[in-house]
Amino acid sequence: MAGLLTFVSARGDAATHRDAVEDALGLLRHRGPDDRRVVATDEVVFAVHRLAVTDSIGGAQPLSYPPLGVTAGRYLIAFDGAVHNAAELRAELIEQRDARFVTGSEAEVIVAAYHHWGPSAVNRFRGMFAFVIWDSSARRAFGARDPYGIKPLYQLSRPEGVYLASEKKALLPFVADPSRVDTANLQHYLTMQYVPEPATMHPDVRRLGAGESFVYTPGGPLANRRYSQLEFRPSPAGDEEALVQRITVALRDSVHASLKADAPVGAFLSSGIDSTAIVALAAEVDPHLRTYTVGYDDEQFSEIAVAEQSARVLGVPLTATVVTPADFMQALPRIVWHLDDPVADPALVPLYFLAERAARDVTVVLGGDGADELFGGYPIYREPLSLATVSHLPDSMQRGLRAVARVIPQGMKGKSFLERGTTPIEERYYGNARIFTDEEKAALLRHYEPDIRHTDVTGPVFKEASALDDVTTMQYIDLYTWLRGDILVKADRMTMAHSLQLRTPFLDRAVFEVAATLPSELKVPPRSHETKAALRRALAGVVPAAIASRKKLGFPVPIRPWLRGEMYDWAHGLLDTSGAGDLLDLDVVRGLLRAHRKKEADHSRKLWTVLVFCVWHAVFVTRTLRPGPGYFAGEDDQDPRHRAQLHLP
């Protein structure tokens, strides 16, 4: 694991940029506090903050390869992630290609695989990764991200060359105007609660897409290409028991592989089946596995009691953390700074505190992310079944019902059902979050562009899913949008904020292969209210019975009551001081806040989306809000040079 920052010069003067790159590297210290190294040549600067998870002594980065012979040192690699089949690949390279290794690091396996197998080597890696390789002989940079996008990689092209980094904040010192906001992506954020990949809120900085690789030759363009296409291929109903058994076998193998580390390993445990299954399978290898959960004083929202029950049944130790409204308000600037771009998922705040507590004991933690997208776990996936009585009607009848919906008063029962049932899935499904409507954004935004719509993001993905049934189509949309833009961003940033490596066993090649073949009725049965049906059956003998049938909660957060009470004045103050009024009509938001407090409506998600943006704007644009001591990185937290990296006062 690492925080990497690399610069490839277009002019052969990379060494003159070494000091600037090394200064910016301090912004990534939280991703790897165990070691800090910088290598500079005329053509490149490779800088890494490393978290020692495997081969703590020999795995220092940047790493050069080959170690011996006339081509010794031809390549330089900076790598972030974990390749769970590194030992198998190492053995194959030694046997088939007579490869030589001098470390036990995964980085050396990756660069050796690239040397012997070329760019196609990325298809052999099992796990999560983002890396950059410089080939000094070919004068070419190559890099890639894993197919799911678990590990991030940001790109900035400038006349002097190309910068690549694990987090966007490390690139901002090299951006011409870091206060410029991409207003098109602000509109997308207000709809989806995240900035969709590959964009960021800074128009000059992009993300390498999940499952993409890149090539850059100095003086030429930065060329990204997709090397991995994750596809659902639902099979006709057949031997259901065989499919269910395949799920269990694949997931068990993935969990056991994810436990490989030279550092202490733990796991997150909530009240749901996903994390409980990971813990149960991991406990087969480590019966004393440390587990961690989070909750609140309000038992209506807290998952601690159920997690404690599961931990007792599984026989593993559990540490619980209680989060308060004061914790939320105090930590949010630091959290948003770690995110780089606003993500308005309230669950990321308790995840931040959960990771903070776990990092005191362990360096690696397992989580249940990805199960809902792969196995059909979100309740909204039942919508095609509930709307079928309307959506399957002839077009003429649907037009009539749509006309009826228009005259039904807002908020009256049946209006939304008719509207959604008569709207094609391509128009009605934005992904897992739908925050502000187009009409609401038109009232909220100072510079609203009606031609910018959610279909700009989802449209191309819907085209790829055109042959799928509606349930699987929704999964596919979330796999390529929600999972990458929200779930995995919060998972990576909130854990790495505390130098904690999160591994996600559900997002494994073999697990996806079996999930991809499940027919929709084995995910969302038509004659029940169940979700993830096949997964629940596969885990029936693995997790406690009460958990196997428990509905999804997903780290619920009590922002609805808090914004009416403890957080009301804080929210008002934030609106008054954020400086976001040039982009948003904050009087509209104040009206929502007052109506929410009076319980005239539940505007909590809309309010939280705006408040997170206001914090982001105050931290990254107006620079009036500081995340707090220790969050500008560097060896000396009081050194003003580290604050200068974000142009903060």
Q: What is the pLDDT of residues 424-446, one digit of tens each?
A: 999 999 888 889 999 999 999 99
Name the token pair of 310: 């599961």
Query: What domains appear along the chain, each with residue ranges and CATH number?
Result: 2-181+202-226 (3.60.20.10), 240-377+481-548 (3.40.50.620), 559-644 (no CATH)
Task: Using a pLDDT cut of 70, give the percent of the chain over it.
Answer: 95
Is the pLDDT at 649 greater than 60? The verdict is no
Segment 585-609, tens digit of pLDDT: 999 999 999 999 999 999 999 999 9
Answer whether 259's CB lies under 8 Å from 283's CB. no
Residue 647 has pLDDT above 70, yes or no: no
Q: Rounded CA gap, 313 and 300, in Å? A: 23
pLDDT at position 637: 39
Task: Report residue 27 as tokens.
Answer: 């912004």
3-state secondary structure 415-473: HHHHHHHCCCHHHHCCCCCCCCCHHHHHHHECCCCCCCCCHHHHHHHHHHCCCCCHHHH
pLDDT at 257: 96
The pair phi, psi for residue 162, each rounded to 5°, is -120, 135
Q: Binning pLDDT at 50, 70 and 90, where does residue 638 land?
A: very low
Q: Is 70 exceeded by the pLDDT of residue 212?
A: yes
The structure tokens 């979700």 sit at 531
Query: What is the pairing mode between strands 161-165 and 2-9?
Result: antiparallel
pLDDT at 639 > cutoff 50: no
| β-bridge pairing 290-295 and 265-268 | parallel
Inter-residue long-range contacts of 534-541, CB under 8 Å, 24+ positions, other chains counted: 534/240, 534/243, 534/244, 534/247, 534/375, 535/247, 535/273, 535/277, 535/371, 535/375, 535/377, 536/273, 537/244, 538/244, 538/245, 538/247, 538/248, 538/251, 539/248, 539/273, 539/277, 539/280
Residue 646 has pLDDT above 80, yes or no: no
**Based on the number of CB atoms within 10 Å of its own CB, is 607 exposed (0-12), middle (13-18) or buried (19 or more)?**
buried
Give residue-wise pLDDT tens across range 443-501: 999 999 999 999 999 999 999 999 999 999 999 999 999 999 999 999 999 999 999 99
Whether residue 643 is predicted with pLDDT greater than 50 in this model: the reply is no
Q: pLDDT confidence of 628, banded at 50, 70, 90?
A: low
Read off the pLDDT band of 644 (50, 70, 90): very low
DSSP code at position 125: -
Instruction: Name the average pLDDT for the chain.
Output: 92
Residues with Cβ < 8 Å from 284, sequence gap 6 or more?
Answer: 252, 256
Q: How far apart are CA 436 and CA 619, in angstroms?
A: 23
* Residue matched to tokens 């079928």: 388
Secondary structure class of 608 (helix, strand, coil): helix
Q: What is the pLDDT of residues 308-351, one digit of tens each?
A: 999 999 999 999 999 999 999 999 999 999 999 999 999 999 99
SS3 113: helix
In this prediction the pTM is 0.94
Mean pLDDT, range 123-144, rounded to an integer: 98
Mean pLDDT of the 20-30 span: 97
Give the span between the Cα atoms of 25 and 645, in whole angstroms.
10
